[in-house]
Chains A and B, each alone.
Chain A
Amino acid sequence: MTAPLSATTGALPVDPTATRELSFAEALREALGQALEADERVFLMGEDIAIYGGAFQVTLGLLERFGHDRVMDTPISELGSAGVAVGAALAGSRPILEFQFQDFATLAMEQIVNQAAKIRFMFGGKCSVPVVFRAPTGSGTGGAAQHSQSLEAWYAHVPGLKVVQPSNPYDAKGLLLAALDDPDPVMFFEHKLLYKVKGHVPEAPYRVPIGKAAIARPGTHLTIVASAIMVSRSLEAAKELAEKGIDVEVIDLRTLRPLDTETIIASVKKTTRLMCVYEGVKTLGIGAEISAMIAESDAFDYLDAPILRLGGAESPIPYSPILEKAAVPQVADIVAAAERLAKKRV
């Protein structure tokens, strides 16, 4: 695309349809603002989301636009707030509750797991609980053991919940609007290191369907399945690997429950090698599920090498940056593991 330079400033005019860029946090903010505008049943709750704008500034400015009735600061009461969100959803509202950190949502597990996830089923399908729980996840900010976890597999283990984990600003907006349309409870996890990442985001509202993975990079030699920050790390690794003659296909899960098994199976049949890259602790994590799913599928017969999992260390997230980095997969780890996998044969 070419555009004439401005006669007065010499700068390129902004073409909002094609080059409009927002950060991940701005994309979420835009989705929240559009949802609040479009549906008066929607409201936001959370700790320090109104005046302060949220710990990661996702809701910054929404109080000024929508007022305290729609953008509500809660007391530090994760369990109580989650229950309030569930009750409001049952009674016809569309609440979005922000947990300041995913770690703090552990205080609300009762309401999320016993109530929100099960009410529709327990009540014989006679109602739905349309609530969205948002939470920042992951390490890389020096938050240490209680502000850095990646517990998404816990929630993905619970029938009745949907678990979404976008990897880029475009998906962040589209998946959040899809989560808000969804009649069932959605856990919406936002990796902290992505908040400032910029990318193309159309202004008009759009939806990215829940339960559909994306092929972030097509390739032929091996498949990497990842989500959130591990998608960009895997893409970076794929560039290095391409220089070494290894052509990697990167699948961005986007949703952990329901899992898009079809896309993963098709990719593995094509590449014949599978590596799962995830920040959560390796044992009993999302990679275990994907590995087992492939082992049970007809893609198993296509495998030319054992499946490889690259997950978080079997430790809490440490504070010291050198330890913190070592506790979760980095680009170099992905490159090294992929090289090993590419050479292995069954």
Chain B
Amino acid sequence: MTPTTHVTSDPDGAPASQPVNPPRAFSVFSAAELKTALKKMYLIRRFEEAAEEAYQRGLTYGTMHLSIGQEASAVGACLPLGPSDYITSTHRGHGHCIAKGADPKLMFAEFSGKETGYCHGRGGSMHIADVENGNLGANGIVAGGIPIAVGAALSIKKRGLPNVALSFFGDGAANEGAFHEALNIASIWKLPVIFVCENNKYAMSTSIERALSVKNVADRAVAYSMPGVIVDGNSVIDMADAVMAAMDRAHAGLGPTLIESKTYRLRGHSRSDRNRYRTREEIESWAARDPIGRFEGDLIAHGLATAADCIAIREAAEAEIAAAVQFSNDSPLPSVDHLLSDVYTPVEAKP
């Protein structure tokens, strides 16, 4: 197979190429599943807004990296995954966690440093994980999760399991050595791993134009003999279709795929961001391509949901996040007595 870059649609460039076939996601997923996907998008949006509100009210401690505007990328990529498929995530990971099925209550408690959080307050915003449900964790190190996903895929292959590992990372991570080493290893060993680069145009303040030697991150796939697929990351359906194609390839033993999700973060990098590196016009132009409204439009156009359904879904998500915030507020802080208890696994010595 000759590796090529497939452009399904490119929100930055020329008009998107027309898909030959109707999107597969509409035939694979039921209306109920697609409405659950919409709910997850609203959960992510409201979770991030609640985190931001907590910051504005002076109630947060550490930093946070909000994914408002990138909901379709997380939800669309995770839509085809099952609980036994793995993901690795990033510092901007709240959305990936919710998309993979995490409980916002336990997430908000973790974000707030409470004992009831996913990591009992040890990890915080950047380290939320749910290993039992296949989420190998957000990661505070750029590109840190990429080789870990390759390792999970190696374990899957060794055990003959029908699963995949999917690694989310940003455009900045594509310039780390770990990205290149991981893609090479995944390719030579033909591992069932899917690399999802969420290209939101900026590694903190540094634009891809100033930091990336290629026009698209997906162009680098050629160097590792795998397909490089550019997807409109603000489309749930396009993301789900691209991941399903990558899963087919992985299940067939053909190895990894690099998917570049072109998207945009509408908020700053973190709470210290003053937006000195981009224009208001640019931000507003992307706000106009809001992925949630777009997915609602898709669902209504295909007769899978009504406008009233969408409002009900949004309200249900808002209520769920309000309950998550309340749960977190009502939760106890961790006990200082247990500071050291999770550094090592308790072991019983063998003779």
Which residues of A are found within 8 Å of B341, using beta-carbon distances?
125
Provide 14 A-B residue pairs closer than 8 Å at the C-beta atoms, listed in order of the A residue: A77-B185, A84-B154, A86-B151, A88-B154, A91-B155, A92-B159, A93-B154, A93-B159, A111-B147, A120-B345, A122-B123, A123-B127, A125-B122, A162-B344
Which residues of B are found within 8 Å of A80, using beta-carbon distances?
147, 150, 177-178, 180-182, 184-185
Whether B12 is near chain A, meaning CB under 8 Å from some CB there, is no
Check B129–A122 contact: CB distance below 8 A.
yes
Give the distance to chain B from A159, nearest Cβ to Cβ, in Å: 5
Whether A90 is near chain B, meaning CB under 8 Å from some CB there, is yes
Which residues of B are found within 8 Å of A57, using beta-carbon distances?
none
Known contacts A87-B148, A123-B119; A184/B345 CB under 8 A: yes
Which of A80, A85, A91, A207 is most buried by chain B, counting CB atoms within 10 A of its CB?
A91
Check A84–B147 contact: CB distance below 8 A.
yes
Whether B152 is near chain A, meaning CB under 8 Å from some CB there, is yes
Check A83–B123 contact: CB distance below 8 A.
no
Which residues of A are found within 8 Å of B86, using beta-carbon distances?
91
Check A110–B144 contact: CB distance below 8 A.
yes
A side interface size, CB within 8 A: 45
User: Contact residues of B with A, CB < 8 Å?
Assistant: 86, 88, 117-123, 127, 129, 131-132, 136-137, 139-141, 144, 146-156, 158-159, 165, 177-178, 180-182, 184-185, 188, 341-345, 347, 349-351
> Residue on B with the closest CB to A131?
B151
Whether A16 is near chain B, meaning CB under 8 Å from some CB there, is no
Contact of A123 among B131, B147, B181, B188 (CB under 8 A): B131
Give the distance to chain A from B11, nearest Cβ to Cβ, in Å: 31
Chain A stretch 146-184: residues in CB contact (< 8 A) with chain B: 159-160, 162, 178, 181-184
- Cα distance, A162 to B114, chains bound together (Å): 29
- Cα distance, A81 to B154, chains bound together (Å): 11
- Cα distance, A226 to B182, chains bound together (Å): 38
Whether A302 is near chain B, meaning CB under 8 Å from some CB there, is no
- Cα distance, A79 to B179, chains bound together (Å): 10
Which residues of A are found within 8 Å of B153, using beta-carbon distances?
87
- Cα distance, A298 to B349, chains bound together (Å): 29
- Cα distance, A39 to B251, chains bound together (Å): 26
Whether A4 is near chain B, meaning CB under 8 Å from some CB there, is no
Whether A61 is near chain B, meaning CB under 8 Å from some CB there, is no
> Residue on B with the closest CB to A82?
B147
Given contacts A110-B144, A181-B347, 15 further A-B contacts (CB under 8 A): A80-B184, A83-B181, A84-B154, A86-B148, A86-B151, A88-B155, A90-B148, A91-B86, A91-B165, A121-B122, A123-B119, A125-B342, A182-B347, A184-B345, A207-B351
Which residues of A are found within 8 Å of B119, using beta-carbon distances?
122-124, 126
Check A183–B345 contact: CB distance below 8 A.
yes
> Residue on A with the closest CB to B340?
A159
> Residue on B with the closest CB to A73?
B188
Check A88–B123 contact: CB distance below 8 A.
no
> Residue on B with the closest CB to A110?
B141
Whether A202 is near chain B, meaning CB under 8 Å from some CB there, is no
Q: Across chains A and B, which 8 residue pairs bring their CB atoms closest together, nearest first?
A: A87-B151, A83-B147, A80-B181, A125-B342, A124-B119, A91-B155, A87-B148, A77-B181
Contact of A75 among B151, B154, B184 (CB under 8 A): B184
Check A83–B178 contact: CB distance below 8 A.
yes
Check B158–A69 contact: CB distance below 8 A.
yes
